[in-house]
Amino acid sequence: MSNICFKINIPNHGTSATSNRCLINLPASESGVGTGTLAAAIADPLPAPPRPHRLPPTPWPFGGLALAATPLDGLSRGRSDPRPDRDTIAARTTDRRAPMPPAIHGHADEGYGPLADAFARNFTEAGETGAACAVHRDGRLVVDLWGGTAGHGRPWRSDSAPTVFSVSKALVSISLYMAAERGLLDFDAPVAGDWPEFARHGKDTITLRQILAHRAGLPLLDTVLTPADAAAWHPFIRAIEDQRPLWEPDTAFLYHPLTFGWLAGEPLRRATGLTPGRFIAAEIAGPLEADAWIGLPPEHRDRLARVEPPPGPIGPDPASPDDRFAERAIRFGKLFPGGLFGEPGGVNDPEALAIEVPGGGAVATASALARILAATVTTVDGVRLIGEDSVRDALTVRSEGRYWDGTPGSRFSTGFKINHPGGRILLSDASFGHDGASGQLAFADAEARLGFGYVNGSMIAEDTRAERLVLALRKSLG
């Protein structure tokens, strides 16, 4: 019999008069998980999910790109962030008898019962195997939940940290805003002003804002590159300098899965002397004591949680002409020599993750992401990362509508995804952040004064896990 374990802030009915926090241990058969809700443990449970709905295809890693059937100049492209109708998010079980959930650990303050309930339901209804979810609000960690497996027979712990794929972009973008506030970067000046070699092949007018809004026309590279090239940094920069844009910059937009990190990271390095991973360690994660890295340190490798791929092929097949775009936008020929999930060298290899891949290689805990994002909209233990003017700018739409290739696009501000009812939904129109390939999500909300972090250990083809949590957070906040 599995136990459902929550430490929940509840009124003092029978608990110590000096504390309103209690530990609840309920056998699954008593909690209602699998047949209803955590009604015995948490007030205001979510309603039962509606009827099943056919969901979109498996996303590629590093940003939610999914294969499409329509060729583009001999290449195959896909739509970003396909999402089901909000009213038809369904339970994903093939058996009417829902599986027993694992033990859920951590705490949720009073009022966040719907979010805790949704987190537990993801294990029984949405294919979750290991995950963590956290909310940091008004300077406090009000939700911190984790459960399941971290891979190789290990339980998920409070400090388990998986690869978070394109959530990395939020960390890089925060870094750039911090540098801009210090007068070290100008988002609207040509990048070539401080990086003259970048101007080659018609790139002389491209601005940092256009790069951050995916409008630069540089989502792929023709140069074949390796892990050693990424570790050295400069080979990727030389490849970018030699690359010709796919379209006239700023006339269209298309998601830049990995080039985003080097395109944004080189101006940051030239302005501050630090690569994105080093800047984040020194200026963001360090001051906030947050467990988030681009470039996983050796002393933290044992905390790496494994991300399991879904069944079937993942991402580009080098033998297929239809997959050439992904081959040039994600693998760059040899960046992942054994495949994205290959070992060694893939997204679960701690030695590979020690190399900075700023567009998609961050490793983080859910609580660290919540803490960092919260510090963009409020003060966290004396640390405020960016000011109100930057927050307003981060909420301003810069790219939306259809991508350059005609497929439905995401909604981007300068460096972030923002609330998109037709795509990635966040808490409100005052939210900005980024998601990752296996459904991870981190965002801040300026009105609610909070940061949200969700990480997991499995890539699921029909994925509504983060969306369920966001909808439950909305309910928790009323």
| Three-class secondary structure assignment of 386-420 | CCHHHHHHHCCCCECCECCCCCECCCECCCCEECC
Residues written for the chain: 478
Does 435 map to a domain? no
Domain end point (choices 406, 426, 446): 426
Does 171 map to a domain? yes
421/458 same-domain check: no
Does 247 map to a domain? yes
238/147 same-domain check: no
185/58 same-domain check: no
- Look at strands 304-305 and 161-162 and give their pairing: parallel
Domain count, the chain: 2
Can you say whether the dihedral through the CA atoms of 194, 195, 197, 203 is positive or negative?
negative
124/172 same-domain check: no
Domain end point (choices 386, 411, 426): 426
216/292 same-domain check: yes
Grouping H, G, I as helix, E, B as strand and the rest as coil, residue 434 is strand
297/349 same-domain check: yes
Nearest partner of 471 among 99, 52, 10, 46, judged by Cα: 46
Q: What φ, ψ does residue 454 adopt, rounded to 5°?
A: -140, 125
Does 29 map to a domain? yes
Does 434 map to a domain? no
Cα 158 to Cα 242: distance, rounded to the nearest angstrom: 44
| Widest Cα–Cα separation across the chain | 72
> For residues 456 and 467, is the Cβ–Cβ distance under 8 A?
no
b/e per residue, 203-235, with b = 16+ CB within 10 A?
Answer: beebbbbbbbbbbbbbbbbebebbbebbeebee
> For residues 235 and 333, is the Cβ–Cβ distance under 8 A?
no
- DSSP letter assigned to residue 328: I
Half-sphere exposure (CA, 13 Å, Cβ side) for 47?
9
Does 61 map to a domain? yes
Cα 175 to Cα 280: distance, rounded to the nearest angstrom: 7
Domain of residue 378, CATH code: 3.40.710.10
pTM of the model: 0.82
95/62 same-domain check: yes
154/169 same-domain check: no
Q: What's the start-to-end Cα distance of the chain, in Å?
A: 34
377/340 same-domain check: yes
Does 446 map to a domain? no
Does 460 map to a domain? yes
Domain end point (choices 383, 410, 426): 426
Contacts 24+ apart (CB under 8 A), 147-152: 147/101, 147/102, 147/103, 147/104, 147/105, 147/119, 147/120, 147/123, 148/102, 148/123, 148/457, 149/102, 149/457, 150/305, 150/306, 150/457, 151/305, 151/306, 151/307, 151/308, 151/348, 151/457, 152/306
What is the residue whose two structure tokens read 């809004």?
213
148/169 same-domain check: no
170/263 same-domain check: yes
pLDDT tens track, the chain, 478 positions = 333 344 333 333 333 333 333 333 333 333 333 323 332 233 333 333 333 322 233 333 333 333 222 222 222 233 333 343 333 333 333 334 556 778 999 999 999 999 999 999 999 999 999 999 999 999 999 999 999 999 999 999 999 999 999 999 999 999 999 999 999 999 999 999 999 999 999 999 999 999 999 999 999 999 999 999 999 999 999 999 999 999 999 999 999 999 999 999 999 999 999 999 999 999 999 999 999 999 999 999 999 999 999 877 665 555 665 577 888 999 998 999 888 888 889 999 999 999 999 999 999 999 999 999 999 999 999 999 999 999 999 999 999 999 999 999 999 999 999 999 888 999 999 999 999 999 999 999 999 999 999 999 999 867 899 999 999 999 999 9
Domain hosting 368: range is 165-426
459/392 same-domain check: no
> For residues 123 and 23, is the Cβ–Cβ distance under 8 A?
no
